[in-house]
Homo-oligomer: A and B are copies of this chain.
Amino acid sequence: MYSKISETPIFKGISSDEISNILNSTHHQIKTYEAEAIIAFSGDECNNLFVLIEGSIRGEAIDYNEKIIKIEDVFAPDTFAEAFLFADQNNLLINIVANTKSKILIIHKEDLLVLFQSNKKILENYLNIISNRFVLVTKKLKFLSLRTIKAKLASHFIELSKKSKNNTIFFGKTQAELADYFGVTRPSLARTIKEMKDEGIIEVPGKMIRIIDYNKLKKLIE
């Protein structure tokens, strides 16, 4: 079990022996949930760090019309709901439900603070996790605030082209997946890609995207 815990982002770089010592001197709980058990409710105060040791959980949002929307799956070994812990408004925005039988290490926020003070590595790991999550959300926010599909596509292609060669991007997702990521419909995305082809901005050989006119592409953003 300790080796599983050492694979979670927050205990990364800490040996199983150390984890054993840490848990001996830190107040904590280990709980097991059956499949489909509700681990925490939307609206609950979140005062504990959850470390998923075994199994898989999902987050479910409930919209104003009581419709359930699956947000994301988390698979062991990982942590979840960690970013709300120290916020003033620390109520969960989603239900946490076990997908499969799951074992979870639970550490209260006060105990976690004590742990942070005695173990620099865990503190660094935690700061790293929530900072990365913040950067991710901020980038997504910036992206979503682009008005048109063309602008989003252009921004996406430019970002990908930074990490690739020959101005050629490998199109790793299906159009349906990309459309979903963009928050638009699949036919609309396809239409936009076609327009960019027609305008001579890109070529689409097979599963690749080749950028022909980088300047035109940049002008599409904003």
Interface residues of A (CB under 8 A from B): 63-65, 67, 83-90, 93, 113, 116-117, 120, 123-124, 127-128, 130-135, 137-138, 140-142, 144-145, 147, 154-155, 158, 183, 218-219, 221-222
Given contacts A65-B219, A158-B64, A222-B67, contact A85 B144 (CB under 8 A): no
- CA distance in complex: A8, B61 (Å): 35
Closest B residue to A151 by beta carbon equals B64
Please tell me if the beta carbons of B137 and A130 are within 8 angstroms of each other in the complex.
no
A134 touches which of B64, B123, B127, B133 (Cβ 8 Å): B133
A113 touches which of B120, B130, B131, B222 (Cβ 8 Å): B120
**Within the oligomer, what is the number of copies of this chain?**
2
Closest B residue to A158 by beta carbon equals B64
Closest B residue to A66 by beta carbon equals B218
How close is A24's CB to chain B, nearest CB, in angstroms?
21
- CA distance in complex: A133, B90 (Å): 12
In the complex, what residues of B have CB within 8 A of residue A86's CB?
A: 124, 127-128, 131
Given contacts A64-B158, A222-B63, contact A88 B128 (CB under 8 A): yes
Please tell me if the beta carbons of B135 and A134 are within 8 angstroms of each other in the complex.
no
Please tell me if the beta carbons of B134 and A130 are within 8 angstroms of each other in the complex.
yes
| Smallest CB-CB A-B distances: 3 pairs | A87-B131, A86-B127, A86-B131
A-B contact pairs, 16 of them (CB 8 A): A63-B222, A64-B221, A64-B222, A65-B219, A83-B138, A84-B134, A86-B124, A87-B132, A87-B134, A88-B128, A117-B117, A117-B123, A133-B134, A134-B137, A140-B141, A145-B183
In the complex, what residues of B have CB within 8 A of residue A127's CB?
A: 85-86
In the complex, what residues of B have CB within 8 A of residue A128's CB?
A: 86-88
In the complex, what residues of B have CB within 8 A of residue A65's CB?
A: 218-219, 221-222
In the complex, what residues of B have CB within 8 A of residue A83's CB?
A: 131, 134-135, 138
How close is A108's CB to chain B, nearest CB, in angstroms?
14
